[in-house]
Structures are given as structure tokens and as C-alpha cells.
Homo-oligomer: A and B are copies of this chain.
Amino acid sequence: MKSFWNNYPEIGREVEKIKKNIIKNAKCKDKVIENSIVELVESGGKMLRPGFTVLASKFGEYEEERAIALGSVVEMFHMATLVHDDVIDDAELRRGKRTIQSKYGKNYAVYIGDYLFCLCFKTLGSTSSLKRDIQIDTKVMSRICLGEVEQLNSRYKKDITIKDYLKRISGKTAELFSLSLYIGAIESGCDKKTSRLFWEIGHNIGMAFQIIDDILDLTGDSNKTGKAVGNDLLEGVYTLPLLIALRNNKEAFDKVLKEEEYSKEEILEIIDLIKENGGIEKSMEIANKYSNKAFKNILSLPENEYRDILMEITKNMLSREQ
């Protein structure tokens, strides 16, 4: 997935530096920790969030050291939440590769996540060229943790509303996209209005991204997504397509939803029911609404080459089939 930023060498180069910076930061006596972090960095993630931080930084006075540090913080925070999510989900695979907890055990995974959190804050604390205080960043971080907890709490609940779902993914996913862009903008000296616009863009991109992710969990090719089809269902996480289908035809699901292991056939049956009851179609519509808002927001940014890149990248990532 290195190719994701390859068409934009100016950003891609910085993204590679961010990867190297995270690896440098991870150096420590404990080789399992160090190697796990290297593996995470090199596991082929798109590096969307740090790429966005670099992009937004280009709208102000770009300073490489600062952009690299901020991009690293955003990605390390993301990695920490992924590692802990895998612990909670008991996940075997992530991006088609074995998870840290399946390789080194849950205990290690808990500490590796903690260590990554600490590295984030260490990097934030030691980046001398930061202009603003880190108050806003650290507040967002608590909200992201709360989003994860909300997801945990709403498992197997058929009565959560679409509003609840949107609020949950806003905390769990969209806030970090917002932060990635906002922090790049505000720290490179963009004015408040532009920075807030970046926040908004991140929100809309993040919402669309997560809804599409939740759709692909049901309809995607597991070879491409690297996850089993219906993984969320298996975990009791009821996402937008199911919630919409449930709202349209609750009775249809009465017999099929349960709080135990599903067979592959049962999963496919539920997915068919979701499709029949408009869950996928309507979810795509909602995702498109967020995408369109993001595109509109992007066009309100100052016109420059980075705006064009942001537009293309956003279109690219929101049309993904994996």
C-alpha cells in the first residue's frame, strides 16, 4: 500500500520520514516491543492520518521537523488504539497479518499499546517548535477512548439508533481524522477559520470512511480487507447497514441475531437480509452525503496544489473497495 501516497512524492517522502521517525522512537531494550512497532509501521497501512497532517501543514508555514513529529504522534496514537482494539476483539488478523496479541499474547499487547500512548505524549512534549498548547489534542484523545468504550457497550444492542451509531463513529474514527488535519494546520500557523475548516473536513472524511469500512465488512472480499466477512457481526458490533435494515424490518432479524458464535452460513444469511432490507444501499447514500460535504469543504480551502492533492486523495480513499 506504499503506493497510496506514491503519486504525490512531496507528501509520500514525508510519510516515509514519519515511518522512520516512529521506528527510531520505538528503539528500546525490549526487542519484542521494538519489533512489534516496526512490524506495525511496515504492515502496509495507508498512513492516511499522518499524510493528512503533512498535507494540512503545507497550508501554513511548513516546517519539516514539526510536521514529522505531529504526523508520528497521530499515527502512534492510531496504532495504540488498534493494538488495544485487537486485544478486546481477540482478533487474529489485522490487514491480513497476525495481530500483536495473537503473536506475543494479550499481556504484551496491553503494554505495547500503553507504550505507544506514552511515546505519543513524549513526542508531543518534546517537540520544541510547537506553537500552541497541546490541550486540544489531548482532549480529543480522551474522546477517542470514550468512543471505543461506547462501541464496547453497545454490543448486541438492537435498539441503538442511527444517531447513536453516528455519534459513536464520530468519536471512534472521525475525531482522529479531524485532529490529524487540524493539528497540521493550526501548528503551521494557519488562521483559525482555515484550521476549523480542516477539522470539519476531517470529520466528514472520517464519517464517510468508517461507514464505508462498515459496509465493506459485510460485502467486501476478505482477501482484500484482510478480515473475515461479517467480523463486526461476530463481535456483536451492530453497524449502520444492520441498524438500517433492523429499522426497516425488525421481525426479519428476530430469529437470526444472537449473542453466540455464528456459522458461516448464518453470517451470509444475515448479510442477505441486510441487503434485502435496504441496509447497504441506504448506508452508501449516507456515506456519500458525508463524502460530498467533505468535497465541498475542501473546495472552500485556499486554492493551491495541496488542495488538489487533498481532493484526489480523499476521492481515492472514499472510493476504495478494500
Q: How far is the CB of A186 from chain B (nearest CB, A)?
A: 14
Would you give the 0/1 interface string for A95-120, flagging 1 where the beta carbon is closer than 8 Å to chain B?
A: 00000000000011011011101110
Whether A29 and B110, one on each chain, are in contact in the complex, defined by CB atoms closer than 8 angstroms, is no
Q: How far is the CB of A174 from chain B (nearest CB, A)?
A: 17
Q: How far is the CB of A144 from chain B (nearest CB, A)?
A: 8
Whether A148 and B84, one on each chain, are in contact in the complex, defined by CB atoms closer than 8 angstroms, is no
A145 and B111 in contact, given A126-B133, A135-B125, A153-B30 (Cβ under 8 angstroms): yes
Q: Can you tell how many copies of this chain the complex includes?
A: 2
Main secondary structure of the interface of A (DSSP, over half): helix
Whether A133 and B128, one on each chain, are in contact in the complex, defined by CB atoms closer than 8 angstroms, is yes
Most buried by B among A108, A121, A148: A121
Kindly state whether residue A1 has any CB partner on chain B within 8 Å.
no
Whether A152 and B108, one on each chain, are in contact in the complex, defined by CB atoms closer than 8 angstroms, is yes
Please report the total number of A residues contacting B with Cβ < 8 Å.
42
Whether B135 and A122, one on each chain, are in contact in the complex, defined by CB atoms closer than 8 angstroms, is yes
Kindly state whether residue A160 has any CB partner on chain B within 8 Å.
no
Chain B residue nearest in CB terms to A80: B114
Would you give the 0/1 interface string for A130-146, flagging 1 where the beta carbon is closer than 8 Å to chain B?
A: 00011101110110111
A141 and B122 in contact, given A107-B88, A111-B152, A114-B113 (Cβ under 8 angstroms): yes
A30-51 interface with B by 8 A CB criterion? 30, 32-33
Kindly state whether residue A69 has any CB partner on chain B within 8 Å.
no
Whether A30 and B150, one on each chain, are in contact in the complex, defined by CB atoms closer than 8 angstroms, is yes
A145 to chain B: which residues have CB within 8 Å? 111, 114-115, 118
Q: How far is the CB of A233 from chain B (nearest CB, A)?
A: 18
Report the Cα distance A142→B144, complex, angstroms. 21
Chain B residue nearest in CB terms to A115: B145
A84 and B30 in contact, given A119-B142, A122-B138 (Cβ under 8 angstroms): no
Whether B110 and A88, one on each chain, are in contact in the complex, defined by CB atoms closer than 8 angstroms, is yes
Whether A138 and B126, one on each chain, are in contact in the complex, defined by CB atoms closer than 8 angstroms, is yes
Q: How far is the CB of A162 from chain B (nearest CB, A)?
A: 18
Kindly state whether residue A256 has any CB partner on chain B within 8 Å.
no
A141 to chain B: which residues have CB within 8 Å? 118, 121-122
Kindly state whether residue A252 has any CB partner on chain B within 8 Å.
no
Whether B134 and A30, one on each chain, are in contact in the complex, defined by CB atoms closer than 8 angstroms, is no
Report the Cα distance A119→B117, complex, angstroms. 12
Kindly state whether residue A299 has any CB partner on chain B within 8 Å.
no
A148 to chain B: which residues have CB within 8 Å? 111, 114
Q: Looking at the complex, which one of B33, B80, B125 makes contact with A133 (CB distance below 8 Å)?
A: B125
